[in-house]
Amino acid sequence: MNDPTPPFAAPVGTHDVLGPASAQWEGLISRFADWTYRYGFSLVLTPIFEDEGVFSRGIGEGSDVFRKEMYVFEDRGKRRYALRPEGTASVVRAFVQHRPTTPWKAWYVTPAFRYERPQKGRYRQHHQLGVEVIGTDDPAVDVEVIALADGFYRSIGLERLRLLINSMGHGACRAAYLAALSEYLEGHELSLCDEHRTQWRRNALRVLDCKRPECVTVTDAGPFLVDWLCEPCRAHFDAVVGGLAEVGISGTLSPRLVRGFDYYTRTTFEFVSDALDGAQNAVGGGGRYDGLTERLGGPPTSGVGFGSGVERLLLARTAEGRVDPLIERTLDVFVVDGGEGGPIGPLVERLRRAGLAVERAYDGRSLKAQMKVADRSGARLALLVGTEGPGSTVTIRDLRASESTQQRVPEHELVEALTDRLTKTRL
């Protein structure tokens, strides 16, 4: 009973979600489920660990995530696995394995793991929600995915959002651009920042994403991918931007936006919140990955999707002053045992089976104590049973009204009476 400090705590960079925070999570996730439903998506569940190759080939060995943030381990059968660092690669692997009819529209919410030092809005185990559409390169789908993200974000109260958008090209124009960029960087190697002076060859695109002034100066004067797009890629990008405008969504062309994973082709985008500061202002992002299925052993198949960090979204909501849980989780009735009737268990069960949200107290507490618990439970109504001896009537008491109002009701009319009162108190 008098343990000093508990022997265990959640591991570094992980956290438990309970209390008011868990209501926010429940609300956020159910709201996201609503939005994906409207757009024709269905839920996909995949394991949180995969063969390491799913991620090394998927997100790319040149990505920072793979190089220094992967949670890899060997199991008892000496197989090398990795905890998923993001959502897309697993979903694409599942697509290749099961080959659902296309276009396949799947949504997910899942833990994701990055081995790095935790800080505000960034954890070793965090959670991501997102969608993927696999099996079409129609720019209308890019528009849908972005519109879904935008609509969902706004529905949870994020208003200070900006959409950044870019095209990474595909195939020949991407290759031609990479060659040009490499040639350019080679000539300006000495002017790059400390890290990229030696590392740029690993992944030249990452230099575009570098925020250090040395790199910015160099890349500003160099080639940008949007100027190198081939005709089909150009047309695709124009169709995406045009389609967004048609549905009333405006974005900013952001030629530096290359994102963290190697698999992106053509459309890439990111939503940043001006309510969050600096380095962690991205609340979500995604793009197209037209070569990813092949990398994972499938047929050439186009795909596009986006993902968002749940913790980051909640942080952004808070920063915008939104604390409401987005979902109603209020008890309808709290049953108080007056002690002079029979056991209240059967009555509580009957009400629950009738569809009401019902709670009660335990441990034989006093009437006063039960009323206190009832009050704090947030229930709309208290139901007092057995307060005036055994009988067939119970008392309904409104816990919300400032002037307490009570009504005695015969037990056989109880459900109707409660339903009736609840309808009134909700108005």
Figure out which of the listed residues 58, 223, 251, 309 binds RNA, where binding follows CB under 7 A: 309
Query: Residue 177 has which token pair?
Result: 């651009």
Q: Residue 35 Cβ, how far from RNA at the closest point, in Å? A: 18
Q: Give the nearer residue to RNA in terms of CB position, either 243 or 283.
A: 283
21 counts as binding RNA under rule CB under 7 A = no
Say if CB 268 and CB 258 are below 8 A apart: yes
Figure out which of the listed residues 283, 314, 358, 394 binds RNA, where binding follows CB under 7 A: 283
Q: Give the nearer residue to RNA in terms of CB position, either 152 or 261.
A: 261
Q: Give the nearer residue to RNA in terms of CB position, either 78 or 368.
A: 368
Cis omega (within 30 of 0) for bond into 100:
no
Q: Is 355 left (phi over 0), alpha (psi -120 to 50) or beta?
A: left
Q: Give the nearer residue to RNA in terms of CB position, either 65 or 243.
A: 65
Piece of the chain touching RNA by CB under 7 A; list 122-130, 150-158, 241-249, 294-302: 122-130
Q: Residue 356 Cβ, how far from RNA at the closest point, in Å? A: 18
274 counts as binding RNA under rule CB under 7 A = no
Pick out residues in 353-412 that bind RNA (CB under 7 A). Answer: 365-369, 371-376, 382, 384, 387-388, 395, 397-402, 404, 406
- What does the longest C-alpha to C-alpha distance in the chain come to? 94
- CA 380, CA 396: separation in Å to the nearest integer? 10
Query: Residue 338 has which token pair?
Result: 């007056």
Pick out residues in 131-150 that bind RNA (CB under 7 A). Answer: none
282 counts as binding RNA under rule CB under 7 A = yes
**Which residues, other chains included, contact 2 with Cβ-Cβ below 8 Å and sequence gap of 6+?**
none
- CA 417, CA 411: separation in Å to the nearest integer? 10
Going from the C-alpha of 39 to that of each of 43, 151, 152, 327, the distances in angstroms are: 12, 11, 11, 20
Say if CB 84 and CB 102 are below 8 A apart: no
Piece of the chain touching RNA by CB under 7 A; list 29-37, 42-50, 273-281, 346-354: 273-281
Figure out which of the listed residues 15, 256, 322, 350 binds RNA, where binding follows CB under 7 A: 15
Specify the amino acid at residue 94: A
Q: Give the nearer residue to RNA in terms of CB position, either 26 or 398.
A: 398
